[in-house]
Homo-oligomer: A and B are copies of this chain.
């Protein structure tokens, strides 16, 4: 394996010049530059990253800690982050915290050890509650989950507003007893719950919400119980795609057709939501964009550590399908 000194010898220059050329530095003559490049080519020289990182104290690596990689939402975020990162010649270390605050803490520690340039994090509620950007030696951009108080760069959906619009949409379609089933482990669940509450209150309706762990099973169980009571709710609304899946399964098991017997809606425009007849009304999140914005924000922060704290809020899009239609209609 060729080393920098081999290249220097081959090119007839000093190692410093080689290093400068490799770094794309200015202040090196075109002549030497070309000779170095030729030598690099001839020897198939590739700088040793460990050495470079040790000396330069930079890793050009970013950590991505997602709360649940199985959730297609985060998959898409990861994809965006990864795409952009490699375009900026940065590496990505992916960590899946599985909605477990301990794992999250562990991974954040690991990021410190790795001396990453920055981290993109979708925190669980406990972590978010005590989150202080200054606790970490690297910049952190929150994605998807953030609350009013948190002073950190973040990229999020307009959760409250989207939930409001989704709820209002159902009310407009004539539904009254609307039950909101939301994930209690995440900030998004709570915020969407808030939007639901506001919408119901604004229309003078009684709120009927149920918090559950953000798993398909928990959602299914909760929904099964809900629809076994009487009177049947007019509509069920899920705070995210995982929960929506659970609700849909529950309705199917209970042999309840939507929207004839009960309406259904939720967050996340997953492929299957338009597949189950007559399609499920959802708030579609711009997932790829969210991820892209997150890493762009992070790169900016890395470049200008002193810039003011930013929050990017993206609008969710209501996609109306059959599941939310008027009962009588």
Which A residues have a C-beta under 8 Å from some C-beta of B? Answer: 46-51, 53-54, 59, 69-70, 72, 75-76, 78-79, 82-83, 86, 91-96, 110, 112-115, 216, 245, 248-249, 252, 270-272, 274-277
Q: Is the CB of B50 within 8 A of A59?
A: yes
16 sampled A-B residue pairs with Cβ under 8 A: A46-B112, A49-B114, A50-B54, A69-B78, A69-B79, A78-B94, A78-B96, A82-B94, A82-B95, A82-B96, A92-B94, A93-B93, A216-B271, A249-B274, A275-B275, A276-B277
Q: Is the CB of B72 within 8 A of A72?
A: yes
Q: Is the CB of A245 within 8 A of B271?
A: yes
Pairs A-B, 8 closest by C-beta atoms? A272-B272, A50-B54, A50-B53, A94-B94, A54-B54, A51-B54, A69-B79, A82-B96
Q: Is the CB of A75 within 8 A of B70?
A: yes
Question: Is chain A's binding surface mostly helix, strand, loop or mixed?
Answer: helix
Q: Told that A91-B93, A252-B277, A272-B275 touch, could you supply 10 new A-B pairs with CB distance under 8 A?
A: A47-B113, A49-B115, A53-B53, A86-B95, A93-B93, A93-B94, A216-B271, A271-B272, A272-B276, A276-B277
A32 to chain B, nearest CB (A): 24
C-alpha spacing A297/B310, complex, angstroms = 45
**Closest chain B residue, CB of each to CB of A241:** B271
Q: Which residues of B sit under 8 angstroms from A245, Cβ to Cβ? A: 271-272, 275
A287 to chain B, nearest CB (A): 10
User: Most B CB atoms within 10 A — which of A49, A59, A114?
Assistant: A49
User: Most B CB atoms within 10 A — which of A46, A72, A75, A113?
Assistant: A75
Q: Is the CB of B46 within 8 A of A113?
A: yes
Q: Is the CB of B275 within 8 A of A277?
A: no
A31 to chain B, nearest CB (A): 28
A50 interface neighbour in B69, B72, B115, Cβ under 8 Å: B115
Q: Is the CB of B69 within 8 A of A75?
A: yes
Q: Which residues of B sit under 8 angstroms from A75, Cβ to Cβ? A: 69-70, 72, 75
Q: Which residues of B sit under 8 angstroms from A70, Cβ to Cβ? A: 72, 75-76, 79
A2 to chain B, nearest CB (A): 13
A124 to chain B, nearest CB (A): 17
Q: Which residues of B sit under 8 angstroms from A252, Cβ to Cβ? A: 275, 277
Q: Is the CB of A249 within 8 A of B277?
A: no
**Closest chain B residue, CB of each to CB of A96:** B82
Q: Which residues of B sit under 8 angstroms from A69, Cβ to Cβ? A: 75, 78-79, 82
Q: Which residues of B sit under 8 angstroms from A76, Cβ to Cβ? A: 70
Q: Which residues of B sit under 8 angstroms from A91, Cβ to Cβ? A: 93, 110, 114
Q: Is the CB of B277 within 8 A of A248?
A: no
C-alpha spacing A157/B256, complex, angstroms = 37
A215 to chain B, nearest CB (A): 12
